[in-house]
């Protein structure tokens, strides 16, 4: 069986929204009278992010879920098409070469879904296999990568993974809730895609996946479907839970390949927030520059849910050596992938 190798990547970002402008132009009113809201919002490690729905131009906080889902398809189609087309171009493949197309999202649903509509629009073959990775949250890119990697290895055909998240469609009604302040301060919109090919001589091969779920802390991070979009629940205890598990997850991942932390050339840490990056850095004994790509993505793009770790991997495209990608989300769940030079 051939190794599954990541050979191309692409991304698409909607309009940029400056964090200070978002506070001054909308969220200052939204959270008027909420103590510490401004400090939390402007201290989230985000300088700018991206939004298909700029709250300064249109307030979606009173929209019903149906209207938000219709808007998701409208906005996601061009972004997803651009990201997938860019990844295919980078890999030197045509849409007709693809055997499996997987789409990960937790921010929008429709049937026929984004996978069917994009496959048709891009000219992928009618016999294409498809997979929807739904509502897993910020870590979904890595189980998605595992699934397409297994397909590539078993079937010896290329596959594409697209993560498309439009969190700006889920701005919530104003309420004095600091968890909502944190969520609105961090989350952003993006589409990111990767191509995985069998036995390619270039790129990074998928060498291992490790997962860990701590079900005892399931209430620490939630993403609930409501009549007014999807609502994030985010406990400040999440970094503490992560600190208990990240070391053993990385040790298990690297041990299977005979590697140690010191052997890793690139770290693609999902930047769920500044404290998340701090915990990973400190628990693994990394230098600050080793998590620099994650800090840059958080500052320049915000937390784009499942697309974010793929954006960090793009920052590490020139790294020649082992790369560890890791992401965290509801469950609480940690996923980590090891990528080795092909």
Nearest residue to 85 (alpha-carbon basis) of 121, 111, 47: 121
- 10-residue mean pLDDT profile of the chain (342 residues): values are 95 98 97 95 97 97 98 98 98 98 97 96 97 97 98 98 98 93 97 98 97 93 96 91 95 97 98 96 98 98 98 96 96 96 96
pLDDT at 268: 98
Give CA 105 to chain center in angstroms. 9
Report the alpha-carbon distance of residue 262 to residue 337 in Å, rounded.
16
pLDDT at 1: 76
Task: Please report which residue ranges of the chain form alpha helices under DSSP H.
Answer: 19-22, 28-30, 37-42, 65-91, 114-122, 141-155, 178-186, 238-255, 274-284, 292-301, 308-315
Report the alpha-carbon distance of residue 27 to residue 175 in Å, rounded.
11
Q: Could you read off the pLDDT of 111-141 as tens digits, one per residue?
A: 999 999 999 999 999 999 999 999 999 999 9
Residue 138 annotated in active site: yes
Domains of the chain: 4-198 (3.40.47.10), 204-341 (3.40.47.10)
CB count within 10 Å of CB 46 equals: 25
Report the alpha-carbon distance of residue 141 to residue 336 in Å, rounded.
10
Q: Could you read off the pLDDT of 250-278 as tens digits, one per residue?
A: 999 999 999 999 999 999 999 999 999 99
Report the alpha-carbon distance of residue 107 to residue 112 in Å, rounded.
16
Nearest residue to 48 (alpha-carbon basis) of 294, 303, 290, 275: 303
Region of 88 (left: φ > 0; alpha: ψ -120 to 50; beta: rest) is: alpha
Give the residue carrying structure tokens 């999440």: 238
pLDDT at 156: 97
pLDDT at 235: 87
pLDDT at 253: 98
pLDDT at 191: 98
Considering the candidates 106, 138, 164, 304, report the single residue annotated as catalytic.
138
Q: Give the sheet arrangement for strand 204-213, strand by strand.
A: 129-134, 100-105, 159-166, 189-198, 4-12, 204-213, 333-341, 323-329, 266-269
Q: Could you read off the pLDDT of 211-246 as tens digits, one per residue?
A: 999 999 998 999 999 999 999 998 888 999 999 999
Give the residue carrying structure tokens 């510490």: 36
Nearest residue to 219 (alpha-carbon basis) of 239, 233, 240: 233
């Amino acid at each position: 069986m051939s190794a599954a190798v990541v050979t191309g990547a692409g991304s698409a970002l909607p309009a940029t929204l400056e964090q200070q402008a978002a506070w001054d132009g909308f969220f200052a009113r939204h959270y008027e009278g909420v103590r510490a809201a401004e400090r939390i919002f402007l201290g989230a490690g985000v300088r700018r992010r991206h939004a298909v729905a700029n709250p300064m131009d249109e307030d979606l906080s009173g929209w019903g879920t149906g209207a938000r889902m219709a808007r998701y398809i409208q906005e996601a189609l061009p972004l997803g098409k651009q990201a997938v087309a860019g990844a295919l171009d980078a890999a030197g493949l045509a849409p007709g070469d693809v055997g499996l197309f997987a789409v990960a999202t937790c921010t929008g649903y429709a049937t026929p879904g984004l996978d069917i509509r994009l496959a048709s629009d891009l000219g992928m073959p009618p016999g294409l296999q498809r997979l929807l990775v739904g509502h897993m949250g910020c870590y979904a890119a890595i189980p998605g990568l595992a699934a397409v990697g297994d397909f590539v290895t078993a079937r010896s055909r290329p596959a594409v993974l697209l993560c498309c998240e439009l969190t700006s469609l889920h701005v919530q009604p104003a309420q004095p809730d600091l968890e909502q302040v944190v969520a609105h301060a961090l989350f952003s919109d993006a589409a990111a895609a990767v191509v995985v090919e069998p036995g390619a001589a270039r790129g990074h091969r998928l060498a291992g996946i490790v997962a860990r779920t701590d079900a005892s802390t399931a209430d620490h991070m939630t993403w609930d479907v409501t009549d007014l979009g999807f609502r994030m629940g985010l406990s400040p205890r999440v970094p503490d839970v992560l600190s208990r598990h990240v070391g053993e997850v990385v040790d298990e991942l690297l041990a299977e390949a005979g590697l140690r932390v010191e052997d890793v050339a690139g770290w693609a840490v999902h930047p769920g927030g500044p404290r998340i990056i701090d915990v990973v850095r400190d628990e693994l004994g990394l230098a600050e520059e080793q998590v620099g790509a994650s800090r840059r993505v958080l500052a320049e793009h915000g937390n784009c849910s499942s697309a974010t770790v793929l954006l960090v991997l793009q920052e590490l495209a020139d790294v020649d050596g082992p790369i560890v990608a890791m992401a965290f989300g509801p469950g609480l769940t940690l996923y980590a992938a090891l990528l080795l030079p092909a």
